Chains A and B, each alone.
Chain A
Amino acid sequence: MKDKIFFICFYSFLAALTIFFIALILSVIPQMLEATPVRGLGNREILFAVKLTLLTATASSLIAMLFSIPIGYMLARYNFFMKNFIDAVLYLPLVISPIALGAMLLIFFNTPMGRFFENNLFRVVFEVPAIILAQFIVIVGLSISLARAVFEYIDPVYEDIARTLGATKFYAFRKVILPMGGKGLVSAFLLTWARAVGEFGATVTLAGATTMKTETLPVAIYLSFASADIYSVCVLILISLSISLSILFSIRKLYARNQRTYI
């Protein structure tokens, strides 16, 4: 009897939240059918926003993983000077609001160092690189924590064995740790990418909201909402939902496809 109450309680929470999410999604469709376009969001603009979002999210996620793999590994395996402080600094993007991060970036590019960068390398503020940088700053804390969890889960004894067999630390990392953590790292990449797709606050602060220039999907939703264009908001929301759901399904499939999971 007590077991029944336990299951009823827990399943009630699960069902309540799932129903709420489905209701949220379904509520968009009738609104879209009833509304009439105001802003005149054309196919070209939607396609631009989708393309720009996918391109920038992919670039920022790849760069984030490039940093996260070595940093996550170091944090998982080694103790070093000021590790706790560095750890806290790297995780700051997870707790600071994206708008604050965007403002900090904007302020940085107003300093002599930032101006030197823009004058001598390439323009960032209010340009496409600003979107990538803003997404990167927002997601890198997440990708580091995911990569770190992947490496912490792999028993160091595998590296020990590889090293006694003549492998250098780097060889052991390439041939043992990376392949063993492969699935986990792909998942980390996909989750990070999904977060980048939805990034808005830092992007709009650093890159602005210029139509057909820095207009990612969340920015396009914001612009349509600002002009009370509910139809376009709904269309863009459904596109965002489709992208997000396909990513989440891929992650689930990646784990379900093969039982031989190492992490």
Chain B
Amino acid sequence: MLAIRGLTFKIGNFALKDVNLEIDKGEYFVLLGRSGSGKTTLIKCISGLYRVVMGNILLNGRDVTGTPSEYRNTGYLPQNFALFPHLDVKDNILFGMKTRPYDVTEIEKRMDRMTGLLSIRDLLKRDVGNLSGGEKQKVALARALIVYPDLLLLDEPFSSIDQGVKAGLWFELKEILKGLNITVIHITHNLDEAHAVADRLAVLINGRIEQSGTKEEIFLKPRTEEVALYQGIRNIYSGTLTSVDSEKIVIEDNEFRIIALNENNMKPGQKIRFCIRPQDIKIIKEGAPIREELRDNLFNGEVVSSFFYNDFCIVRLKSVVDFEMRFPLYVYHRYGLHVGKQITIGIWQKGISIFKDTG
């Protein structure tokens, strides 16, 4: 449906570098990245607001690289929704219908459908300055959808929505857009938001797509150190492969020995970097049987600090190396993970991601 091939684009001191993406019809695709990573630049290239001279953008098989924005039929929802302040809600929604020759019945039919779908019929006569964040988002969405775009581009659509209502709106938005079978590119820097709405996603770092794939591929197996760091993984280490067989590899350093799954066709003697997701480090209960996938990597250590969030906590452990672990709050209380507590941990082998050969 949307194909981006070798897109390189420079603006000021920033550049998008060799971006390649394929997005299927009806897919909800999330572009993840920090502020300044080039997400908005990329969607402005896709929508034709920036003129691309290197690379190609194909929409429904048609090369639209040089097509002006007004002929691309892409809907765009910017971060602040940018509702036209001189128009009321109804005229904002109808703006796109007035740029093209539609007959009155068609306009009314679409208006009725969109306002019904988004439950905003009672807002039509309101001034846009008096709407809440959620209402503004729905009006902006109706304005973008009423022209039946081939592709909808959402630029941080929840950034100005109150934290408390965000999560509910993630699912509502996805449900509405899935119902319309519309292809969506949603950009965000919020990992939870990406996890909640994405069918597939890509991680953009410094203008380059570092990794793209399914949620499982991105969140369980970060392909590069940058992607791991972006996800907040701090358990990143270096080591040398001392033994490799068809199933497992042994990574050793002066201080530790870790056994991981052989997923990358590695060779002995290779120096590598790897990471362990904090949620894949488990506490081993004394006297209880140890699950097979944890058995190879057992370490003893002492809890040195803990940080609490709404429904989970981060615990730091001093062992042969420092480990950062993430547990639900009940685990913290069940094991009494106070500072100074001695515990044994096991590392879930599938949670170890090997990055690359460092020479």
Contact = CB atoms under 8 A, between A and B. Distances in A.
Interface of A: 155, 157-158, 160-168, 171, 175-176, 179-180, 182, 260, 262
B85 interface: yes
Given A160-B49, A160-B69, 6 more contacts: A155-B82, A160-B82, A161-B82, A164-B72, A171-B99, A260-B129
B78 A157 contact: yes
A165 B78 contact: no
B49 A180 contact: no
B76 A166 contact: no
B141 to A, nearest CB: 12
B44 A165 contact: no
Given A163-B69, A164-B49, A166-B100, A157 B85 contact: no
7 contacts: A157-B78, A161-B143, A164-B69, A165-B143, A167-B95, A180-B85, A260-B129
B114 to A, nearest CB: 13
Contact of A165 (B68, B85, B96, B129): B96
The 9 A-B residue pairs whose C-beta atoms are closest, nearest first, are A165-B96, A166-B99, A164-B76, A163-B69, A179-B86, A157-B82, A167-B99, A262-B85, A161-B82
Contacts of A176: 84
Contact of B70 (A167, A175, A182, A260): A167
Interface residues of B, number: 27
Contacts of B127: 260
Contacts, number: 66
Contact of A180 (B68, B74, B80, B86): B86
A159 to B, nearest CB: 9
Most buried by B among A160, A161, A171: A161
Contacts of B85: 180, 260, 262
Contacts of A158: 82, 84
B303 interface: no
Nearest to B71: A166
Contacts of A163: 48-49, 68-70
Nearest to B86: A179
A165 B86 contact: no
B214 to A, nearest CB: 29
Given A160-B76, A260-B127, A165 B82 contact: no
Given A166-B96, A166-B99, A260-B129, A161 B86 contact: no
Contact of B78 (A160, A171, A260): A160
